[in-house]
Amino acid sequence: MPEGHTLFRLAREQSVLFAGRPVHVTSPQGRFEAGAALLDGRVLDEVWSYGKHLFARFGADVLHVHLGLYGGYTGGTGAPPPARGALRMRWVADGPDGDGVWTDLRGPTACEVLADPDVDAILARLGPDPLRPRADAGRALRRIAGSRTPVGALLMDQSVLAGVGNVYRAELLFRHQVSPFRPGRGIGAELWARMWADLVTLMRAGVRMGRIVTTRPEHRSRTRGAVSLEDARYVYRRTGLPCRICGTDVRTEVMVGRNLYWCPVCQAT
Ligand SMILES: [Zn+2]
């Protein structure tokens, strides 16, 4: 599932290509027909992300998209390709240079037109998003520090923290030597302040690079040049491989329906 940095990039990209111009909105598959008809031909004001949610404002109406596990966008310039398969929504517009631009959405868990109160209701259910400039880290801490639930589960709970997924969860816990099984109330304010600041840095880097790299140069097999996928993470998808710090085999276990990865020595408590 894409994490917050991917949605942030998508929002920015869609804003650059489509905002300020009328957008031809269709639903070739038909499952978003009424919504598409409502938005078709209207000027797109802006696109923004919050956590894993994408919002596009067309005047008083807001398009809400959640990609879920299987959703994704494709796009390009010039004339769009023939519409095929389960194409939920297509946007076509005269792009910033006057050339045609298009983007296709397939397989989202949500693609709906909302009014502002509905948008507010969604945002009210979400925790702070580390990529938002004025995000309130303390709101997440209050939820974490007041809970007996393992911190590994709390970090994935979008009502605690918005935008963090499986990769950032595993890597953040490793970088702070915190066991994913430690109860939330075992995370103090000072530790959380460090974790939050680190998460902001990591996610901003994710936005910049378009991928998640969490390792420090001294912990990679190649310390110069582009970071290979094998070198990019400490524990995520490294089951059975030696920990970059202590050499112990990285372990995995299912937590909240997703594979959790951790080093049992570096993250003993
Ligand atoms: Zn280790």
Chain-centre distance for alpha carbon 30: 27
> What pLDDT shows up at residue 8?
98
Taking the model in full, what pTM does it have?
Answer: 0.94
104/155 same-domain check? no
Contacts of 218 (CB under 8 A, 6+ apart): none
Final residue belonging to a domain, choices 95, 124, 153: 124
- For residues 120 and 153, membership in a common domain is answered with no
Q: Of 158, 142, 129, which Cα lies nearest the Cα of 192?
A: 142
Which one of the listed residues 182, 220, 258, 264 is annotated catalytic? 258
For residue 43, being part of any structural domain is answered with: yes
- In the listed set 124, 155, 179, which residue is the last one of a domain according to the structure? 124
Domain boundary among 124, 157, 176: 124
258 and 141, same domain (yes or no): yes
Q: How far is the CA of 248 from the centre of ligand 1 (A)?
A: 5
The confidence score (pLDDT) of residue 1 equals 82
Report how far residue 156's alpha carbon sits from residue 161's, in angstroms, rounded to the nearest whole number: 7
Enumerate the β-bridge partners of residue 75.
103
Q: Phi and psi at residue 115, in whole multiples of 5°?
A: -95, 165
19 and 112 in a single domain? The answer is yes
Is 132 inside a domain boundary? no
Q: What is the pLDDT of residue 224?
A: 82
pLDDT of 257: 87
Catalytic residue, chosen from 28, 52, 169, 171, is 52
Q: Number of folded domains in the chain?
A: 2
Does 144 fall in a domain?
A: yes
Confirm whether 198 is domain-assigned. yes
Report how far ligand 1's centroid is from the alpha carbon of 239 (Å): 12
Q: Are residues 94 and 186 in the same domain?
A: no
- Give pLDDT, residue 114: 98
Question: Digits of tens for pLDDT over the chain (269 positions)?
Answer: 899 999 999 999 999 999 999 999 999 999 999 999 999 999 999 999 999 999 999 999 999 999 999 999 999 999 999 999 999 999 999 988 888 999 999 999 999 999 999 999 999 999 999 999 999 999 999 999 999 999 999 999 999 999 999 999 999 999 999 999 999 999 999 999 999 999 999 999 999 999 999 999 999 998 788 899 999 999 999 999 999 999 999 999 999 889 999 999 999 99
Residues 155 and 81 in one domain: no
User: Within a domain: residue 23?
Assistant: yes
CA distance 168 to 163: 9
- Domain identity same for 143 and 258: yes
Q: Is 3 a catalytic residue?
A: yes
Classify residue 98 as exposed, middle or buried by CB count within 10 Å of its CB (0-12, 13-18, 19+). exposed
- Is 258 a residue of the active site? yes
Q: How far is the CA of 65 from the centre of ligand 1 (A)?
A: 39
For 149, the domain range is 137-262
Structure tokens at 19: 């905002």
Task: Reply yes or no on whether 230 is catalytic.
Answer: no
How many Å apart are CA 74 and CA 81, to the nearest integer?
11
- The pLDDT value recorded for residue 95 is 83
Domain match, 114 and 143 both = no
Q: Is residue 232 part of a domain?
A: yes
Residues 227-235: contacts with CB under 8 Å, at least 24 apart: 233/167, 233/170, 233/171, 234/170, 234/171, 234/174, 234/175, 234/263, 235/170, 235/171, 235/174, 235/261, 235/262, 235/263
CATH number at residue 48: 3.20.190.10
- The CA 158 to ligand 1 mean position distance, Å, reads 28
In this structure, what CATH number is given to the domain that contains residue 162?
1.10.8.50
d(CA 181, CA 262): 10
Helix (H, G, I), strand (E, B) or coil at 238: coil
